Structures are given as structure tokens and as C-alpha cells.
Amino acid sequence: MPPYTIVYFPSRGCSESRSLRCVLILHPHTGRCEVMRMLLADQGQSWKEEVVTLDVWEQGTFKASCLFGQIPKFQDGELTLYQSNTILRHLGRSFGLYGKDQQEAALVDMVNDGLEDLFRRIARQYRHILKEGKDQYQKELPGHLKPFETLLAQNRGGQSFIVGDQISFADYRLLDVLLNLELLFPGYLNDFPLFSAYVARLKSRPKLKAFLESPEHVNRPLAACIKM
């Protein structure tokens, strides 16, 4: 049996090898879980997924059983976690993906919190971006991405990770955001050479590359309402 299970909607979004008994319960779209999948895949972990359809969710019984009335839900043995950023931090600590010291850990948290703000901004405008405001939002992208571009450039001239010299859970989160933006705005990375090279480096990691090329990832819609 795989050591992990994910519970969420049927969408995208959501170092050491040890036996963690994990369950991730999810909806069948990308949402918040693809970053968890990328992290687990790159770290050589297998996982089980329990998909919650929108019909089941709207019936209310399963929703009422979830702390905060939200998913994803993540089970690690007897430990049950909700809140996607809590899950990411847990995985970061579990696999040594939280920087090499307290200073780097603080920077990793800062990047993740900034990406959370960006994720929420995109989520609020998602339907509008697809239907009417794509060109205007693309013009605003440089401003939204500037903080992360600055941090990347400050770390070894943009030739390493977002923090330090080893991958962290913030890198998977940033990669997830950049790849999702590529779905919304094909070719936009051409205007961001540092990000373009960064994405290419991460995508070349063998286990992550295999996951990103898998039918499960490629065919998973960005959101429950619209398949890209």
C-alpha cells in the first residue's frame, strides 16, 4: 500500500526516505494539491488519492466531517491535517525541505506566504481572467511576480533555488504557480528569463520530470469549473 493518501477535489490545486502513513483527500482538479503531488513525486514517494466530487461535497455530509469545513485533508498515520500550507510545512519538515537553518526557514515561510497571496489573487479573478480580462491581467503579471524574481536573482544570480542551495517546499509552490500561469498565459515565461531557466531546471529533475509528463498531471484540470 502506498505510504501516502491525498483527499481533495479532482484537480491540480494541491530528502530522507521514511515510512509516513499519509492520506490526502481531494477534489478532482488542480487547486491546492498539485504542489503536494510534485513534492511527493520528486522525493520518490508514492501516495494514494481519495477524490471528492463536487456532487458529494455539495451534499454536505462529508464537508461537515472536515475540520474547518475544508479540504484538502492529509493523514499521516494517526495525524490528520487540514489547511494546505500546514500540510506543505509538515512535508517540508519531514523531508528536509525547509532550509538548512532558521534564517533560511524564515525565508522559505516568507516566500510561501507571498505565494499564498498571489494564489488568492489569481483565484479571485480566475473566471474573469478566462472570460474577459486575460490581456489586462497579463500586463499586471510583472508586478505580481517581481518580489519572487527579486529573491531568485539575489540567490546566486538566479541560478539556484528560491532560498539557499537546496530545494525547499517553497520551490515546489513557486513552480506550481508558474506552471499554472503558463496554462493561463501560454508563452508568458519568454518575458521572464530567470523564471524560464528556473522552471527548466526544476522540470529536469528526473522524478519530477516523470510526474509532470504523466497523464495524471497533464490531464488534470486547473479548476473544478473549467478544464484548460
The DSSP output letter for 130 is I
Locate all alpha helices (DSSP H) within the chain, ordered by sequence.
Answer: 34-42, 54-59, 61-65, 84-94, 102-128, 134-154, 169-184, 193-203, 206-212, 215-218
Q: CA 78 to CA 174: how far, in whole Å?
A: 30
- Measured in whole angstroms, how far is the alpha carbon of residue 122 from the centre of its chain? 14
The greatest distance separating any two alpha carbons of the chain, rounded to the nearest whole angstrom, comes to 51
* Other C-beta atoms lying within 10 Å of the C-beta of residue 132: 10
Q: What is the pLDDT of residue 227?
A: 37
Return the closest-CA partner of residue 168 out of 46, 33, 38: 38
Q: Are 153 and 194 in contact (CB under 8 A)?
A: yes
Regions of the chain with pLDDT less than 50: 14-21, 27-29, 225-228
The DSSP output letter for 223 is S
CA distances from 54 to 36, 71, 75 (A): 21, 12, 21
The DSSP output letter for 98 is S
Q: CA 74 to CA 22: how far, in whole Å?
A: 6
* Other C-beta atoms lying within 10 Å of the C-beta of residue 95: 22
Q: What is the pLDDT of residue 128?
A: 72
Return the closest-CA partner of residue 10 out of 223, 175, 226, 228: 223
Residues in the chain: 228
* Other C-beta atoms lying within 10 Å of the C-beta of residue 144: 16
Return the closest-CA partner of residue 171 out of 195, 187, 144: 195
Q: What is the pLDDT of residue 207?
A: 98
Q: What is the pLDDT of residue 3?
A: 64
Instruction: Give the phi and the psi of residue 208 in degrees, each rounded to 5.
Output: -70, -40
